[in-house]
Amino acid sequence: MRILERGRFRQRPIPAILDELKSLKKHLFFVDDNMILNKRYTLEFFDGLARLGIKWTGLGPLNLVEDERYFNALIKSGVWLLYVDVGPWLSANMSDKGKHMTQMQKYLGYMKRLKDNNIKIIGSFVFGFDYDEKSVFENTVNFAKAAEFDEIEFLILTPYPNSRLHQKLDAENRIINRDLSKYTTTNVVFKPKNMTPEELYTGYINAWKEFYPKETYEETKDGIIFKTMTAFPLSGKEFEGLLNTRYKPEDKWVSALVKKEKLEKVAQSRRGDS
C-alpha cells in the first residue's frame, strides 16, 4: 500500500490498489506492519476490501484491537490470519515482574478478541536483544502456550550490514561472524549482552522444541526439521538443503514444503539418470 521513493514513503491511491487486487484470486498477504499509521486511509482501504469480498492475511500489531472502529472495519474486511511480532513488547518488561504480568494479560486479551472473531494468529518472537536475559526463552514459550497461537516462529536477532544495530555492535566489538551467508535470523553472529552466543542458540532451539509437540519434528545430525508449513529453525536455503539430503521426493509432507519437481531433480542426479 506504500511505496518507498527517494527515502520517503508515499501511499498509492486506494482505487488503483483495489483494481489490481481484483485479478488476484488467492494467497493475498499484505506486507505492511504500520497498518494503523494512517487510520483514515486504512479504514477506506478495509471498506474497499469488504466490498470486493476478498479473504486476506498480513502483518499487524496486536494493539490494533484497542480502536473499536478500526477493529470492526478490520473484521469486515475479510482478514482471516494475522502475523504479529510480539517478542520485544514482552521481553523488554521481563525484569519488572509486575509490569510484565500486566503486559502479558493485556496481550492475552488482544489475542482472545482476535480469535473470538475467527482470526488465526502467527506469532513471531526474536531472541538476542540487550534486555534479554537467560529467562527470556522459558518466559516466551510460557506466554506463547498461554496465548494459544495457531503457529509460532522464533528468530535470532540479526545485525544486518549497514544497519544501525550492526554499526552499534561493531563499535562495541561484538560482531563474531562476518560471513553474510549466516545472516539468516537462524544463526548467532554477535555476542549477546546477558548470555554467551552458545546459550542464545541453545535457548532458541529449545524454544522451538518446547512449543511444538515432539511428533511434529525430527532431530537429525544436521539440524531439526519441523513438519509444518511455517515451523523450521533454519533459513529457507538451509532448510531446503537439509530436506534434499534427508528425505525422498515421495514423502508427502516434504512435497508440501518444497516443490516436488525440484526434489525429483536432486534424486535423479543422485541416481545418475540422464
**Sequence spans of domains, the chain:** 28-232
- Residues of the chain above pLDDT 90, percent: 36
Q: Is the model more confident about 56 or about 246?
A: 56
Q: Is residue 14 pLDDT above 80, yes or no?
A: yes
For residues 122 and 84, is the Cβ–Cβ distance under 8 A? yes
Q: What is the mean pLDDT of residues 155-182?
A: 95
Which pLDDT does position 254 carry in this prediction? Answer: 44
Query: Which residue, chain included where needed, has cell 514482552?
Result: 90
pLDDT digits (tens, 9 = 90+) for 44-66: 999 999 999 989 998 888 888 88
Q: Is the model more confident about 218 or about 130?
A: 130
CATH 3.30.750.200 fits 28-232, yes or no: yes
Q: Which grid coordinates belong to 80? A: 482471516
Distance from C-alpha of 233 to C-alpha of 259, rounded to nearest angstrom: 19
Q: What is the mean pLDDT of residues 20-27?
A: 79
Distance from C-alpha of 43 to C-alpha of 61, rounded to nearest angstrom: 16
Task: Band the pLDDT of 260: cuts 50, 70, 90.
Answer: very low
pLDDT digits (tens, 9 = 90+) for 105-156: 888 888 899 999 999 998 889 999 998 999 999 988 988 888 888 888 899 9
pLDDT digits (tens, 9 = 90+) for 224-241: 666 554 444 444 455 555
Show the CA angle centred on residue 56, arms to residues 51 and 216, nearest 5°: 155
Distance from C-alpha of 91 to C-alpha of 127, rounded to nearest angstrom: 9
- Residue ranges of alpha helices (H) inside the chain are 14-21, 39-52, 68-76, 87-91, 97-116, 136-147, 164-171, 197-211, 236-246, 252-255, 260-271
- Residues of the chain above pLDDT 70, percent: 69
